[in-house]
Amino acid sequence: MAKNEEIAKILFELAEMYEMQNIPFKPRVFERASESVASLEDDVADLYKEGGLKALEGIPSVGRGIAERIEEYLKTGEMKEYNQIKKKFPVDIAELSSIDGVGPKLINLLYTKLKIRTVADLEKAAKGGKLRSLPRMGAKLEAKILKGIEFKREGGGRFALGEALPMSRAIKDRLLKITDAEEVEVAGSVRRMQETIGDLDFLVVSGNPKKISDYFVKMPEVAHIYARGETKVNVRLKSGIDADLRIVPKKSFGAALQYFTGNKDHNVEVRKIAIKKGYKLNEYGLFRGKKNIAAESEEEIYKKLGMSLPPPEMRLNLGEIEAALRQAQGKPGGLPNSIGYDDLRGDLQTQTSWTDGKNSIEEMAREAEKIGHEYIAITDHTRSLAMTGGSDEKKLARQAKEIDRVNEKFSARGGSASGGKNIKILKGAEVNIMKDGSLDIDDEALAKLDVVGAAVHSLFNLTKKEQTERIIRAMENPNVDILFHPTGRVINRRKPYDVDMEKIIKAAKRTGTILEIDGHPWRLDLKDEHIRMAREAGVKMVIDTDAHSTSELHYLEYGIAQARRAWCTKKDIINTLPLKEFLGMLK
Least Å distance between CB 328 and ligand DGT?
A: 21
d(CA 392, CA 397): 9
Binding interface with ligand DGT (CB under 6 A)? 188-189, 197-199, 201, 260-264, 267-268
d(CA 194, CA 558): 9
Could you tell me which residues are beta bridge partners of residue 282? Answer: 285
Least Å distance between CB 374 and Zn ion?
A: 24
At residue 172, the 3 state secondary structure works out as: helix
Q: CB–CB of 308/324 below 8 Å?
A: yes
d(CA 446, CA 432): 12
Q: Which is nearer to Zn ion, 356 or 393 (CB)?
A: 356
Could you tell me which residues are beta bridge partners of residue 494? Answer: 490
351 binds, among ligand DGT, Zn ion, Ca ion, none (CB under 5 to 8 A by kind): Zn ion
Q: CB–CB of 11/18 below 8 Å?
A: no
Q: Which is nearer to ligand DGT, 119 or 255 (CB)?
A: 255
Sequence-distant (6+) residues with CB within 8 A of 506 are 537
Least Å distance between CB 354 and Zn ion?
A: 11
Phi, psi for residue 412 in degrees, rounded to 5: -65, -20
CA-wise closest residue to 361 among 401, 392, 388, 393: 401
Least Å distance between CB 108 and Ca ion?
A: 38
Least Å distance between CB 457 and Zn ion?
A: 9
Q: CB–CB of 104/97 below 8 Å?
A: yes
> Which among 185-193, 477-485, 497-505, 523-531 is the span making contact with Ca ion, rule CB under 5 A?
185-193
Counting every residue written for the chain, the total comes to: 587
Q: CB–CB of 445/396 below 8 Å?
A: yes
432 binds, among Ca ion, Zn ion, ligand DGT, none (CB under 5 to 8 A by kind): none
260 binds, among ligand DGT, Ca ion, Zn ion, none (CB under 5 to 8 A by kind): ligand DGT
User: Applying CB under 5 A, does 356 fall inside the site for Zn ion?
Assistant: yes
213 binds, among Ca ion, Zn ion, ligand DGT, none (CB under 5 to 8 A by kind): none
Q: Which is nearer to Ca ion, 35 or 199 (CB)?
A: 199
Least Å distance between CB 346 and ligand DGT?
A: 32
d(CA 294, CA 298): 8
Sequence-distant (6+) residues with CB within 8 A of 132 are 138, 139, 141, 142
Q: Which is nearer to ligand DGT, 189 or 379 (CB)?
A: 189
CA-wise closest residue to 193 among 167, 165, 170: 165
Site string for Ca ion, 189-208 (x = CB under 5 A): x---------x-x-------
Neighbour tally for 134: CB within 10 Å:
17
Least Å distance between CB 521 and ligand DGT?
A: 15
Least Å distance between CB 548 and Zn ion?
A: 6
Q: Which is nearer to Ca ion, 189 or 576 (CB)?
A: 189
437 binds, among Zn ion, ligand DGT, Ca ion, none (CB under 5 to 8 A by kind): none
d(CA 580, CA 515): 19
Least Å distance between CB 280 and ligand DGT?
A: 12
ω into 176 cis (within 30 of 0): no
Q: Which is nearer to ligand DGT, 104 or 262 (CB)?
A: 262
Taking CB under 5 A as the criterion, the residue among 61, 196, 327, 351 binding Zn ion is 351
Taking CB under 5 A as the criterion, the residue among 188, 285, 336, 488 binding Ca ion is 188
d(CA 131, CA 125): 6
**How many residues in the shown chain lie near Ca ion by CB under 5 A?**
5
Q: Which is nearer to Zn ion, 373 or 485 (CB)?
A: 485
Least Å distance between CB 376 and ligand DGT?
A: 33
Q: Which is nearer to Ca ion, 189 or 551 (CB)?
A: 189
Per-residue HEC secondary structure of 405-466 comes to: HHHHHHHHHCCCCCCCCCCEEEEEEEEEECCCCCECCCHHHHHCCCEEEEECCCCCCCCHHH
d(CA 532, CA 527): 9
Site string for Ca ion, 225-254 (x = CB under 5 A): -------------------x----------
List interacting residues with Ca ion (CB under 5 A).
188-189, 199, 201, 244
List interacting residues with Zn ion (CB under 5 A).
351, 356
